[in-house]
Amino acid sequence: MYRMTHFAVPAIAFVFAFAGCHSTQTATRPQASGRDSQPTQDPAASNVAPASLTETTSPGDPAGYDNQGNATSSDPGANYTTQAVAPEAPPDLPQYDQPPAPGENYVWTPGYWAWSNLGYYWVPGAWVLAPYAGALWTPGYWDYSKGQYRWHDGYWARHVGYYGGVNYGHGYNGSGYEGGYWRGDSFCYNRSVSHVDTRRVHSVYSYHVENHYNTSSVSYDGGPRGLKFEPNRQEIAAQHEQHMGALPVQVQIRQTAQHNRAQFARESHGHPKLLAQN
């Protein structure tokens, strides 16, 4: 049920009044009886940088691509740390089931292809306890430049930034994050996107969204066959916020995957044994 389904632009919405978790942008507040209310906007819209930030942030020249798919003008990934360079494109993203959130204030960090001298290997998706209230994860991504594929690290920040337009699923449809939002010190989970067990997690709501942004399983930006999604003003603004790198638990997940031959694309033919972990 909670496969790597693609979500993005809201269509039909309804909110459950669990633990008082609801959108602060709704026209009507949830009833005390727990009846559904009809929000007028997506509660997760707060995950992207507000317009007030974009007004004070210069986006630079919009990035374009030449006939070979190289980024021209400003580089979409210029403000990211490049941690790996690969001579070949990463495989397509596999579809997989999302495990249930283990508790309150865990944020989903999607799986991705990493590179070593033995080739690409899959780092499983995982729920990670947020490092602070309000923290959101911007996934890393691959892009193409001058005949090479470059990895740009993900990071924690108050808003979700640019991640190459890659559709990682489970709320990361290529731009922003639809799996939930912060309301004060509590993370509220969108049950139509995120897999949650309400016996463990009580801050939940439901808001149906459909993906009209990117339905491709291509895992990198640029290049002859890659994606061609440029950062918008809000994503550029998010790049200038204070960032925190991957947490030790995230580093450990990657290192464990790197030492597991079953996780390598060449061994698994693009279908690693462990796609997500509890």
| The pLDDT of residue 269 | 86
Which parts of the chain register pLDDT below 50? 1-20, 22-38, 54-82
Q: Are 22 and 37 in contact (CB under 8 A)?
A: yes
Q: Are 253 and 259 in contact (CB under 8 A)?
A: no
pLDDT single digits (tens) 82-104: 469 999 999 999 999 999 999 99
Burial class (CB in 10 A: 0-12, 13-18, 19+), 36: middle
Query: What is the residue extent of each domain of the chain?
Result: 9-277
d(CA 254, CA 128): 13
| The pLDDT of residue 268 | 86
| The pLDDT of residue 53 | 58
Q: Are 265 and 120 in contact (CB under 8 A)?
A: yes
- Pull the structure tokens for residue 102: 């283990």
Give the contacts of 262 (CB within 8 A, at least 6 positions apart).
268, 272, 273, 274
| The pLDDT of residue 51 | 60
Q: Measure Cα distances from 179 to 73, 162, 210 in Å.
A: 33, 16, 12
d(CA 249, CA 257): 12
| The pLDDT of residue 39 | 53
pLDDT single digits (tens) 182-234: 999 999 999 999 999 999 999 999 998 888 899 999 999 999 899 999 999 99
- Per-residue burial over 52-82, b if 16 or more Cβ lie within 10 Å, else e, is ebbeebebeeebebeeebbbeebbbbebbee
| The pLDDT of residue 278 | 78
